[in-house]
Structure 1
Amino acid sequence: MTIDSITHSVPSTVGSSKFSEAELQQKAKDHLWMHFSRQSVMEDGPGVPIIVKGEGHHIWDSTGKKYFDGLSGLFVVNAGHGRRRLAEVAAKQAEELAFFPLWSYAHPSAIELADRLASYAPGDLNRVFFSTGGGEAVETAFKLAKYYWKLQGRPTKHKVISRNVAYHGTPQGALAITGIPAMKEMFEPVTPGGFRVPNTNFYRAAEMGAPTEDLETFGLWAANRIEEMILFEGPETVAAVFLEPVQNSGGCFPPPPGYFKRVREICDQYDVLLVSDEVICAFGRIGEFFACDAYDYVPDMITCAKGMTSGYSPIGATIISDRIYEPFKHGNTSFYHGYTFGGHPVSAAVALANLDIFEEEKLNENVRLNSPAFRATLEKLNDLPIVGDVRGAGYFFGIELVKDKVTKETFNDDESERLLRGFLSKALFDAGLYCRADDRGDPVIQLAPPLTIGQPEFDEIEQTLRSVLTEAWTRL
């Protein structure tokens, strides 16, 4: 994100920091290495946005400017910013037991949270392995899938299948599952065994050689590509399929009707585990605690993180079926895997309180009730020549940008660079809307606001996007 609009006329200190804006910017330039960011923006520009406060669905930067948080931080702050209750729970737990590992010991908040998550999970997914984030949860599922098959006397089942352009994390194992070549090439050779199949982007179905007559036919075609890959690689070599209920990267691809029913059939037929990667989709983003319930399938494992605490403390989890857990119930078999801070007492306590808020305020119900209105409001943008497609589910939408609505012609790399980073990121920032302009795939704007909002906020988002996208089109 470019930040030419930042000014530095602020009070002598910023937020709770004892340093001034200028001092913080200099310290950031001297020492901070940001994630997934071009350091040159900070090195060569006036500084970076420094966010100092959050309240509800708004955030404020160090200059006092207010923004609508249209991405819930990073698909995380589902219950909204500024929940004093969660801060107080964290403080109380830290006073009582700030830390203890789950290495042969346990503590109450991890036990209670495991029980709570198992009660929400479908089918026989009754065992919870904690981590500190989504990438670690995926890494755990990958390792466990391979180990499980070894314990079944089928050690050649080690490969995993995921979808084109899908993002599943950055640890070496999770990176092998991620389907974005540009994110992997600088780290090659990555962990072997990752294979890709087409995603469920119906808007681009023709370019995949897929049927375009209706969604259900397309969904069956896409699911059958998983069977095709299993047969091509050999069923005795494939351990698991990793799928997000709604694929994030590429711009919110919902599953067509019948897609996951067919995928489940395929996995059962060939003895392949199905992992539902719900790091983004769980905890209300699609209107259920676990999005697999929204699409009526029962996976063998669920990976989750982000919204579990609404970001008030880091945690992740892999939820595992009784079938996969069975070999570990007896004898000397152990899963030699873990994380120092997995199931951290403070994070687990915050997660429990956050889930209480979900139930008390009926946040899942709010998403299910209002998602059609959110979609309808965003679809008003279809009258703009730059908007090709509006898609998504729950409170999770993507807006694909095109050069030509009739032909669906997209932007080349140079054009995408100028559009997204040269204009849109800064223009959205200046307009007070924090969201994501992304080109992992075709250029899209992604929206995933806190689950507490309703029609007035939908209108505000639409009006801001309309103004910025109208100007973007005039600059092409």
Structure 2
Amino acid sequence: MDTQSAAARHLWMHFSRMGNYPDSPVPVITRGEGVHVWDDRGRRILDGLAGLFVVQAGHGRRELVEVAAQQANELAYFPIWGYATKPAAELAERLAHLAPGDLNRVFFTTGGGEAVESAWKVAKQYFKLTGKPGKHKVISRAVAYHGTPHGALAITGLPAMKKDFEPLAPGGHRVPNTNLYRHPEFADDLEAFGRWAADRIEEAILFEGADTVAAVVLEPVQNSGGCLTPPPGYFERVREICDRHDVLLVADEVICAFGRHGATFASEKFGLQPDLLTCAKGLSSGYSPIAALIASDRVMEPFLGPKVGFPHGYTFGGHPVSAAVALANLDLMEREGLNQRVLDNQDAFRATLGKLLDLPIVGDVRGDGYFWAVELVKDKATRETFNADERERLVRGFLPGALFDRGLYCRPDDRGDVVVQFAPPLIAGQAEFDEMEQILRDALLEAQKLV
């Protein structure tokens, strides 16, 4: 059985409509090099999404492969359930030194959703240990995605993603996000927008009862909805609100960390000082699965008491091969100055995608660093979005195949309004920006006819 047939018959692909594949060939990716991947037909595809916001250092980095092989040869696996391995301990120390403020304790998981799940469990137990057992609820933003485990999914602000799995863990509550394009009344006063959005968080805390709210979970730049950046002063005000009501502030940096915004942790770039921080994806550039929750000294303190444990963990958390690869990846990124490369190129990336604003179907271009979204609209003057049938034709029917066939992998998405997202490897430059713009332009010119 060939790969396509085997995949169609036996592989349960993630976030996929499996019933499509008997009649539609499964795309098969066979190798990667730099900013490109190749499929089984020999076509070269520009990876405009770094896999899934993951491959910061690019594909085919042999040194990372060699580190994985060397570590597997020395010690392929041992759990960190009461034990340590050299790579896990060294990576924890490295992350503690890199993380903002007093975030000094690292709990390893294998994926971002597990890290978010762990953050909620830490928050609940923290308040039980500190004499406030009623604090268990979590506030997050509308349309925000925080993972698929039941707890993380309860924090996620996307009703359509949750309905098939309800009832979920109780306690997740939503507030407005920072989509300025959908709040044009604030266009001339971004600080007022930041105050308004932050004050909705305090409003929710007071409505639910501050004695019941454990945490506020926010991405530095919100992914779902299309790269929603924070207004000036927003995170500083949220920090004040959390301190006022004794609520833990969690930065979900599963996408944003490790250079995506030109900093090891985007929280520092955007003035966010969290009590807990989740990270994943770019930590190893995808060469081996690893993620982490990083806790502040304040949060960790009650867990250090006598006879106190944290009854939570994962078999492959802090896997020695993954930890060794992550250390080598951080070395590589530092040596090649990838954070600075993003800062040097982010304006050019935005300007290149901004050329698409001359198209009637493009309403907005927004984002930061190497993380950008192009919002598509039905009516540019009114900012009207597409109805359900038009979204089906555009986002699932036309754009993915049209872009891939033209040599570009990126992300058409309508979990909020309709956007196309770009987050290429951090080694990308102007040539890749131009190629992304030109391919998307060509596809959108055709897409306009469909809607």
Alignment TM class, shorter chain as reference: over 0.9
Distance 2:190 2:446 in 1: 33
Other structure's SS at 1:35 match:
coil
- Which residue matches 1:89? 67
Q: What letter corresponds to residue 449 of structure 1 in structure 2?
A: P
Q: What letter corresponds to residue 316 of structure 2 in structure 1?
A: F
Other structure's SS at 1:137 match:
helix
- Which residue matches 1:80? 58
User: Per-residue displacement from partner, 1:105-154 (whole Å, max 9, x unpaired)?
Assistant: 10000000000000110111000000001000000000000000000110
1:368 to 337, 340, 343: 343
Other structure's SS at 2:169 match:
coil
User: Per-residue displacement from partner, 1:32-62 (whole Å, max 9, x unpaired)?
Assistant: 10000000221222x2111010000000001
Other structure's SS at 1:429 match:
helix
Distance 1:331 1:279 in 2: 32
Q: Contact 2:227/2:373 (CA < 8 Å) preserved in 1?
A: yes
Other structure's SS at 1:465 match:
helix
Other structure's SS at 2:2 match:
helix
Task: Give how far 1:308 is off.
Answer: 0.1
Q: What letter corresponds to residue 92 of structure 2 in structure 1?
A: A
Distance 1:429 1:410 in 2: 24
1:289 to 250, 264, 289: 264
1:301 to 272, 276, 280: 276
Task: Give how far 1:66 is off.
Answer: 0.7
Q: What letter corresponds to residue 37 of structure 1 in structure 2?
A: S
Task: Give how far 1:211 is off.
Answer: 4.0
Other structure's SS at 2:443 match:
helix
Other structure's SS at 1:44 match:
coil
2:83 to 105, 108, 116: 105
Task: Give how far 1:368 is off.
Answer: 0.6
Distance 1:121 1:213 in 2: 34
Distance 1:118 1:225 in 2: 32
Task: Give how far 1:328 is off.
Answer: 1.7
Q: What letter corresponds to residue 422 of structure 1 in structure 2?
A: G
Q: Contact 2:275/2:295 (CA < 8 Å) preserved in 1?
A: yes
1:41 to 17, 20, 39: 20
419-428 or 157-166, larger mean C-alpha shift: 419-428
Q: Contact 2:400/2:412 (CA < 8 Å) preserved in 1?
A: yes
- Which residue matches 1:229? 204
Q: Contact 1:100/1:345 (CA < 8 Å) preserved in 2?
A: yes
Distance 2:108 2:22 in 1: 37
- Which residue matches 1:203? 181
Q: What letter corresponds to residue 208 of structure 2 in structure 1?
A: E
1:133 to 100, 108, 111: 111
2:438 to 445, 452, 463: 463
Other structure's SS at 2:246 match:
coil
Distance 2:398 2:82 in 1: 53
User: Per-residue displacement from partner, 1:223-270 (whole Å, max 9, x unpaired)?
Assistant: 100000000001000000000000000111000111101100100111
- Which residue matches 1:23? 2
Other structure's SS at 2:22 match:
helix
1:388 and 2:366 are equivalent in the alignment: no
Distance 2:272 2:390 in 1: 40
Distance 1:211 1:388 in 2: 17
1:151 to 121, 129, 132: 129
1:171 to 143, 149, 160: 149
1:71 and 2:49 are equivalent in the alignment: yes
Task: Give how far 1:82 is off.
Answer: 0.2
Task: Give how far 1:213 is off.
Answer: 3.5
Distance 2:77 2:379 in 1: 55
Q: What letter corresponds to residue 390 of structure 1 in structure 2?
A: V
Q: What letter corresponds to residue 281 of structure 1 in structure 2?
A: C
User: Per-residue displacement from partner, 1:8-29 (whole Å, max 9, x unpaired)?
Assistant: xxxxxxxxxxxxxx61122112
- Which residue matches 1:5? none
Distance 2:189 2:350 in 1: 20
- Which residue matches 1:315? 290
Distance 2:175 2:117 in 1: 20
The answer for unaligned runs of 5 or more in structure 1 is: 1-21
> What is the percentage of aligned positions where both structures have the same residue?
68
Q: Contact 1:68/1:433 (CA < 8 Å) preserved in 2?
A: yes
Q: What letter corresponds to residue 92 of structure 1 in structure 2?
A: Q
1:267 and 2:242 are equivalent in the alignment: yes
Q: What's the TM-score once normalised by structure 1's chain length?
A: 0.94
Task: Give how far 1:433 is off.
Answer: 0.4
Q: What letter corresponds to residue 98 of structure 1 in structure 2?
A: A
1:193 and 2:168 are equivalent in the alignment: no
Q: Contact 2:180/2:186 (CA < 8 Å) preserved in 1?
A: no
Q: What letter corresponds to residue 243 of structure 2 in structure 1?
A: D
State the Cα RMSD in Å.
Answer: 0.9
Task: Give how far 1:409 is off.
Answer: 0.6
Q: Contact 1:211/1:221 (CA < 8 Å) preserved in 2?
A: no
Q: What letter corresponds to residue 404 of structure 2 in structure 1?
A: F
Task: Give how far 1:212 is off.
Answer: 4.4
User: Per-residue displacement from partner, 1:408-453 (whole Å, max 9, x unpaired)?
Assistant: 0100011111111221111101111000000101110000000011
Other structure's SS at 1:184 match:
helix
State how 1:343-354 maps to structure 2 within 5 Å.
343-354=318-329
Distance 2:397 2:75 in 1: 48
User: Per-residue displacement from partner, 1:310-353 (whole Å, max 9, x unpaired)?
Assistant: 00000010000000110122311000000000000000000000
State how 1:309-458 maps to structure 2 within 5 Å.
309-458=284-433
Moved over 3 A (4+): 210-213
Task: Give how far 1:297 is off.
Answer: 2.2
- Which residue matches 1:123? 101
The answer for unaligned runs of 5 or more in structure 2 is: none
450-459 or 221-230, larger mean C-alpha shift: 450-459
Q: Contact 1:391/1:397 (CA < 8 Å) preserved in 2?
A: yes
Aligned residues: 451
Other structure's SS at 2:239 match:
helix
- Which residue matches 1:11? none
Task: Give how far 1:473 is off.
Answer: 1.1
Q: What letter corresponds to residue 127 of structure 2 in structure 1?
A: W
Task: Give how far 1:87 is off.
Answer: 0.3
Distance 1:96 1:359 in 2: 26
- Which residue matches 1:238? 213
Q: Contact 2:85/2:320 (CA < 8 Å) preserved in 1?
A: yes
